[in-house]
Amino acid sequence: MAEAARGALPLRGLAPPLLRRLSELLDRAAPGKGWRDLAQRAGSRGRVRLSPLDLEQCSLKVLEPEGSPSWSLLKLLGDRGCTVVELVQFLQALEHTEALQCLSHSGSITGLPGNKLHICVQPQAQSLAVGDALVLECGAVGNPIPQYQWFRNGFPLANGSENVYMVTYVDVEHQGTYWCHVFNDQEDEDSNKIEVVIGRKAMAVECSEEDLSDLQKPAELQEQADHRPVATDKVALLIGNMSYWNHPQLKAPMVDVYELTNLLRQLDFKVVSLLDLTEPEMRNAVDEFLLLLDKGVYGLLYYAGHGYENYGNSFMVPIDAPNPYRSANCLCVQNILKRMQEKETGLNVFLLDMCRKRNEYDDTILILDALKVTANIVFGYATCQGAEAFEIQQSGLANGIFMKFLKDRLLEDKKITVLLDEVAEDMGKCHLTKGKQALEIRSSLSEKRALTDPIQQTGSSAETQARNLQWAKAHELPESMYLEFKCGVQIQLGFAAEFSNVMIIYTRIVKQPPEIVVCRAYVTDFALDLDVDPKEANRGTPEETGSYLVSKDLPKHCLYTRLSSLQKLREHLIFAVCLHYEYPGTEYTMDERKEVNVGKPLIAKLGLHHGFKTNNCLQTCCLTNNRFPNHMGSSPVATEYFIPSHCPPNSCPGIYLPNHVCSDSIRQPEACSCNGILASRHEVGNYQPPVEESNVPVETTDDTVELEFLLSDKLRFSKQQYL
C-alpha cells in the first residue's frame, strides 16, 4: 500500500530542481523523445487530455529568452492530475532512458513503483461493427522495461508483441476475450480480461418526420448553393526538400514551390515557404503553421520531396532522414490533418507532390485518433497509391510533372475539386508519364469552396491579431542601411528575401572620395549555423550565389551573398563588412572593418531549430556544401519575397510588400536538346551519395518535343549563365 501511495504521487509534488532537470532533458531530446512526443502520449489519455491551445502555449515558450516548452508542459500535466507513475509510463513508451534514470535516481521519489512491474493502463472492452478498427492498449512500468504478448481466447496473437494491438479492419472472427501478458526478466503479470464484440454495420440512420421535411426544400437549398463561401483568412505552408543527405537529390521542388508561392499570394494567402528542412525543423514548421489557423481559415499544405505511403498514411521525408527511413523519421500527413481539424478550419487542402509507394523497411502501424467527419477536406496526390511521382532531371530549371499542369489552372475561379479534376485530365494527355503517374483526388468537400473565395474577417479579434503577428514575425527583413567609414567611403547594405528561410545581402559603394583609386567592400564572418559558402559570397551576379530565380528583381551593380537555412540561426545575425582601399602612388592596401547586427531575420525569429543537438548546425553546413555538390555550381534556392522591381536603383529598400507580385514569370535556360530524364521521388533503399553522377533509378525518353512542352516557356535564362 505504501508503494502504491508513492506511485500515486502527483507530478506537481516533485521538487522544482528535478522538474527543471527533466525539462532540460526533454528540450534537447532526440527526435521521437521530446516534449511534443510526451504531450502526444499524455494527450491520448482522457484524464489529462491536452487541447491545441495548451500545446500552442507551450510552443510559444521558445520565443522567450529563458522559456522552456518542456517545463511548461510538465507543469500543465501536474495541474491536470498526472501522477509520477503515469509520467514514468510515458517516458518508457518513448524509451527515454536518460529521463527515466533521472527519476529513479532522485531521492524525492525513492520507492517509485517504476522499478516493480506494474500495469498502469488496462485494455478496455469494445463493441465494434464489421469494418471498424480494433485498438487495444496495455501500459506498464517496471525495470527492466516490460515486454508484451496479447492473447485472444487463450491463444497468443502472432502480431501481438507490442503494448498496443491493432486490427485495421475487423470481422466477426476477431470477436472474443482478450488480455495482455506483461513480463520482464524478473516478473510477469496479466492484464484484465475484456470482451470484444463484433456486430454488423448499421445500414440506415434514424430520422424524424421533421428531419424528412427539411430534406424537401429545393428552393432553400438552391439559395444556399448560390451563396458564395468565404474564408476568415488564408494560410499556406509550402515545403520543398531537395538536398537530401542520404538519398537522391531533387531539383524541381525549387521551381515548384516558387511558382506556387507567387500564385497563392495572388489569391491573398499568407504563405510560409521553406526549402530543405530536417525532421525537427519540419515538425516545428508545422507547429508554427498550425498557430496561424483558426475557425473558418483556409489552410493549404504543399509538400514536394521524397515520400511514401503505408497503411493509408502518407509520410513526408525530411532531408536528414536515415537510410533506410521509417515513420519515426518522417512526418505523417494524416496526423497534421487531425490537428488542423481541431482548429475548425473552413477548408483543408493537401497537395502532396511525392511518391506513394510502400516503404518495405517500415512495418509500423500508426495509431491515430479517428478523424472528425467533416466536409472540408481535399487531398490532391501527384500520383496514385502505390505509384511514383516524377520530375524532369536535366540541366536548367523545370517544374515537376504535377506542378507543370497545376500552375496553369490554379487561379481559375472553380471549386477546388473541379479544378483538380481538370488538372488530372491535363496530366493524362502527357505521354511521358502515361501509365506511370496519374493525379489522384480524395475529397469530403460538400460545399462549393474555391481557393479564390474572398476573405471576410470576423473583426479584429485577439486570435486574428495574434495570427497576423505570428505570420509577420517570419517575414521581417532588416532595413536597408548605410555604413560610413573613416576614409569617407559610404557603403549601402540591402536585404531581400527569397524564401522564408533564404535571404540575399547586397552591397555597393555609394560614395567614394576622389583621392581613393581602388575600393572594394565585402561581407564576411557569418555564424557557423548558416549555410554560407565563402566561394559563393560577394559575387557579381545573383546567379553566381545560386539565386537563379530572383536575379532580375534585385538592384544591379552590387555584390551579392546568399544566406540559406536561416531557421538554424540561434542568435542574432552578426557579420562584418570589410573595406579594402588604396590611395594613388602607394603600394599598400588600407583596411577598415565594421560589425553589423541585424537581429533575427525572417523565419529565424520562430526558433525552428529547437530540439537540435549541439553539433547539428555545423554538420549541416559541411554536408550541404561539401558532400553533395550541385551540378549548377551551388545549392539551388527559390524565390518567395524580394525587392519590388519598380524600386529606384539607388534606394534598394529591404522591404516586403505582402500583396505585390514582383514578377509574372521565371526564366530558365533554353530547352536542352538532350534526352529528358524522369526521376522518381521515392527512395528508401541503401542509397550511397554520389561522387560525380547520381545513382537515381531513371527512365529516359527520346521525345525532346514533349520535353520542351513540359518545360515552362516562361522560364528563360541565357545558356552562358551555366558555362
List, by residue number, the catalytic residues.
306, 355
What Cα–Cα distance (Å) separates residue 708 from each residue in 260, 397, 533, 723?
21, 12, 33, 21
Q: Is the dihedral of CA 368, 373, 374, 378 positive or negative?
A: positive
Cell representation of residue 296: 473558418
* Phi, psi angles (nearest 5°) of residue 304: -125, 125
CB 253 within 8 A of CB 400: yes
CB 598 within 8 A of CB 572: yes
Q: What one-letter code names the amino acid at 228? A: R
Classify 340 as helix, strand or coil.
helix
Cell representation of residue 386: 502505390
Instruction: Select from 240, 267, 272 the least CA-distant residue to 256.
Output: 240
State how far the Cα of 341 lies from the Cα of 694, in Å rounded to an integer: 41
Instruction: Select from 502, 504, 471, 477 the least CA-distant residue to 638.
Output: 502
Residue 149 burial by CB count (10 A; 0-12/13-18/19+): exposed, middle or buried? middle
Distance of CA 228 to the CA centre of its chain: 31
3-state secondary structure 170-184: CCHHHCEEEEEEEEC
State how far the Cα of 618 lies from the Cα of 635, in Å rounded to an integer: 17
CB-facing half-sphere around the CA of 508: CA atoms within 13 A: 16
Q: DSSP label at 625?
A: I
Cell representation of residue 589: 592596401
Q: DSSP label at 691?
A: S
Residue 319 burial by CB count (10 A; 0-12/13-18/19+): exposed, middle or buried? buried
Complete DSSP assignment for 603-621: GGGG-TTTT--TTHHHHHH
For residues 334, 335, 336 and 338, what is the CA-based torsion angle, rounded to 10 degrees? 90
CB 417 within 8 A of CB 378: yes
CB 637 within 8 A of CB 257: no
Q: What one-letter code names the amino acid at 84? A: V
Q: What one-letter code names the amino acid at 97? A: T
Place of cell 537530401: 244
